[in-house]
Amino acid sequence: MSRVANNPVVLPSGVEVKFNGKDVEVKGAMGSLHHTIHPSVEVTQDDENKLRFTPVNSAKKSRALAGTTRALLNNMVLGVSSGFERKL
C-alpha cells in the first residue's frame, strides 16, 4: 500500500463529507467540492471523523491510486475549511 494512503485524513469541525456511491461531496465554511473516486479505491469514514483509504486489490495501480485519492481529498478538506492562500 502507498505510504501516503496509510495516513488518514482528519476532518476538522464544520466539514461534512457525503458519499453517494463513488461520488464524494465535501462541504465546509468556504464552499463545497465534488470528486468521483476511482473504482480501484475504497474510502471509509470512521466514527472519529477520519477518512481511510484502501486499494481494492494488490495491483500497483490500485495502491498508487489510493495515495493519489487520499491527497486529493485532503486538499479538498483543506480548501473548504481554510481556503486557498498564496504567500509571496
* Domains in the chain: boundaries: 3-80
Give the mean model confidence (pLDDT) for residues 3-19. Answer: 93
Grid cell, residue 50, equals: 477520519
- For the segment 53-76, the average pLDDT, to the nearest whole number, is 95
Specify burial of residue 71 (Cβ count, 10 A radius: 0-12, 13-18, 19+): middle
Find the largest Cα–Cα distance for the chain: 43
Instruction: Give the dihedral sign, CA 43/13/80/74.
Output: negative
CATH number given to 3-80 = 3.90.930.12
Cβ neighbourhood burial of 9 (10 Å; 0-12, 13-18, 19+):
buried
What is the per-residue pLDDT for 2? 62
The percent of residues in the chain predicted with pLDDT above 70, rounded, is: 98
